[in-house]
A and B are shown apart, each in its own frame.
Chain A
Amino acid sequence: MALIRITSPHVHKPASTADIMRLVILATLPGVLAMTFFFGWGTLINILWAAFLALAFEAACIKARKRPLYFYLKDNSAVLTAVLIALALPPFAPWWLTMVAVFVAIVIAKQLYGGIGQNPFNPAMIAYALVLISFPVEMTRWTAPFMLHGEGWNVLGFIDTLQLIFGGWSEHADAFTSATPLDEMRHRGGLTTEEAWRASDVLANVGAWHAVSAAYVMGGIFLLYKKIFSWHTPAAMLLSLGAIATFFYLIAPDSYADPFFHLTVGGTMLGAFFIATDPVSSATSNKGKIWFGIGIGSLIYIIRTWGNYPDAVAFSILLMNLAAPFIDQYTQPRTYGHKAPKRGIKEKA
């Protein structure tokens, strides 16, 4: 699928894939900084490790297919996938977890389909969903937001974090783990939402998650301003999630979380601005993008509220990825001067 820029200021230099990917990586910077600030060095180490693995796997696949190595490696797409995976994984994910995730993303979800631009599913989300199903214990081991706990930085420095990720999990480290707010909300037992807010330490520290989401929004707005993607997908996704959450919250505020919580906690913002907008695996036309976004927003709410998994961004995006070609089929814009295509079973000539 070509990424067509429709606006008319006639840019002299066409936007290359490498430039776009670099801009998107740049735009994750506020998010990366916020994650590091609140959750420690783990995120940065994971990004570097994942990027290294992604380039290695990508190179191996391209070599095996006897394609020009440098030409494909310099488009930055493997690095972007790696950054997104590292941001989605828990900050202290062990090294092999990241390796499995990156292998699945680059080799199975991307290169088996023919490499960049041809994958029907978002590679980072395939990887995330696969490791979430296969290694639930490691995937739910998030850390408590550090700065809000006072002494954090001195307790777990850079070297300690390296040891934790590459040397294996120690009992000592269990002191830092905590559930995510979404986990806490999902498994609150018989408590009403208000009681859960009062009783839980994790939910008391929800500010860190708001800040990380805000950082992602900043990056997303930068990309929107640079016209890397159009507003349709994120707007449709966030509005539909917000609308459904508001509806249920107004009906029964005791048993459903408020819309602000749904929008600012977990992977919602990362998904809305960096993953759902992937030009390859999302719908193509503007009308299609709106349906695509609405689908993701509603699925996130359904799975978060009634399903087994506390956060649903990855699954919702994958489910809509697999619906995207079908959406495209029925939202194809009419070419000017032509009639709308006739659908249905046609007699073969």
Chain B
Amino acid sequence: MTDFLLILISTVLVNNFVLVQFLGLCPFMGVSNKLETAMGMSLATTFVLTLSSVCSYLVYTYLLIPFELDYLKTISFILVIAVVVQFTEMVVKKTSPLLHKVLGIFLPLITTNCAVLGVALLNIKKQNGFMESIFYGFGGAVGFSLALILFSAIRERIAVADVPTPFRGAAIGMITAGLMSLAFMGFTGLVKF
């Protein structure tokens, strides 16, 4: 049990995918203009990330390894992720047409979120087991959501600030992300692995 808790703390705070490992920066910059959209995106990404992390683990362990095809892992993970995203889109469209409309293009774009592929590949590299893969994916997604939601709340405030013209928009967003990353450095050493 402690192991799983440590994995969660590690992926959410210490090795946050966005702020420490710099994965998934495109949705981090792209969907963070409004808090409400960021929350929807976080939910969708959490779902996809956890599910794809498990699916890719299963595909790798029970399909690629027995047939000695592990050199195909990147391409097969991309396929798995695309399927999971398509599935999520169908579910969201059926259950919450409003959320589907708000998320728009960003929902299919989760496919290209490098954090999703990153988690799948890191699971293999770290030789995580089945349960560990679930927690690693879920923790990574929670960390992503945390960073995205806090960032979008800050961006709503910066949007009305008197930022010098050359720094408006994405530029000040990048600087803010850097400063957030600096603040997250404080967590280094909480979990040692």
Q: Do A and B come from one complex?
A: yes
Binding site for B on A (CB under 8 A): 65, 108-109, 111-115, 118, 120-121, 126, 129-130, 133, 299, 302-303, 306-309, 312, 314-316, 318-319, 321-323, 325-326, 328-329, 344-348
CB closest chain-B residue, reference A125: B183
Contact indicator A326/B153 (Cβ below 8 Å): yes
Q: Pull 6 A–B residue pairs with CB atoms less than 8 Å apart, ordered by A.
A: A129-B183, A303-B186, A306-B189, A307-B188, A308-B189, A321-B183
| A126 to chain B: closest residue by CB | B179
* Minimum CB distance partner of B184 in chain A: A319
Set of chain A residues within 8 Å of B187, measured between Cβ atoms: 303, 307, 315
CB distance from B44 to the nearest CB of A (A): 12
- A345-B189 contact in complex given A129-B183, A318-B183, A321-B183, C-beta closer than 8 Å: no
Interface contact B154-A112, CB-CB below 8 Å: no
Name B's interface SS: helix
C-alpha spacing A331/B176, complex, angstroms: 23
Closest to B35 in A: A329
Tell yes or no: B70 within 8 A of A by CB: no
Please give 8 more A-B residue pairs, beta carbons under 8 A apart, in addition to A322-B179, A348-B102: A112-B172, A126-B179, A133-B185, A309-B189, A315-B187, A319-B184, A323-B150, A345-B40
Are A121's CB and B179's CB within 8 A?
yes
The interface residues of chain A lying within 8 Å CB-to-CB of B37 are 345
Complex interface bits, B147-179 against A, C-beta within 8 A gives 1, otherwise 0: 001110110111001111001000010011001
Q: Which residues of A contact B164 (CB under 8 A)?
A: 65, 111-112, 114
Contact A112 B163 (CB under 8 A): yes
Instruction: Give the shortest distance, in Å, between B27 (CB) and chain A (any CB).
Output: 17
Contact string against A for B residues 93-114, beta-carbon threshold 8 Å, 1 for contact and 0 otherwise? 0000011001000000000000
Task: Please tell me if the beta carbons of A344 and B158 are within 8 angstroms of each other in the complex.
Answer: no
Bound-complex Cα distance A81 to B78 (A): 49
Pair A129/B190 contact, Cβ less than 8 Å: no
Bound-complex Cα distance A328 to B35 (A): 12
Q: Which of A129, A307, A329 contacts B182 (CB 8 A)?
A: A129
- A-B pair number, CB within 8 angstroms: 100
Chain A residues positioned under 8 Å from B172 (CB to CB): 112-113
Report whether B157 and A120 are in contact in the complex, using a CB–CB cutoff of 8 Å.
Answer: yes
Q: Give the distance in Å from the alpha carbon of A321 to the alpha carbon of B187 in the complex.
A: 15
B36 at the interface (CB under 8 A from A): yes
B82 interface contact, C-beta 8 A: no
**Chain A nearest Cβ from B64, distance in angstroms:** 38
Residues of the B chain whose Cβ atoms lie less than 8 Å from the Cβ of A113: 158, 161, 163, 172
Q: Which residues of B contact A307 (CB under 8 A)?
A: 186-190
**B40, B102, B176, B185: the one within 8 Å of A120 (CB):** B176
CB-defined contacts of A108 to chain B, threshold 8 Å: 175, 179
Instruction: For chain B, residues 7 to 34, give those with C-beta under 8 angstroms from any C-beta of chain A.
Output: none
The answer on a CB contact under 8 Å between B185 and A315 is yes
> Is the CB of B124 closer than 8 A to any CB of chain A?
no
B163 touches A114 (CB 8 A): yes
User: What residues of chain A lie closer than 8 Å to B151, measured between beta carbons?
Assistant: 322
Q: Tell me if B121 counts as interface (CB < 8 A to partner A).
A: no
Give the one of A65, A109, A112, A312 with max B CB within 10 A.
A112
Task: Collect the chain A residues with CB atoms within 8 Å of residue B180's CB.
Answer: 322
Output the least CB separation between A341 and chain B (Å): 12
Q: Is the CB of A130 within 8 A of B36?
A: no
For A109, the chain B residues whose CB sits under 8 A away are: 179
Q: A319 near B158 (CB under 8 angstroms)?
A: no
In the complex, are the beta carbons of B153 and A325 less than 8 A apart? yes
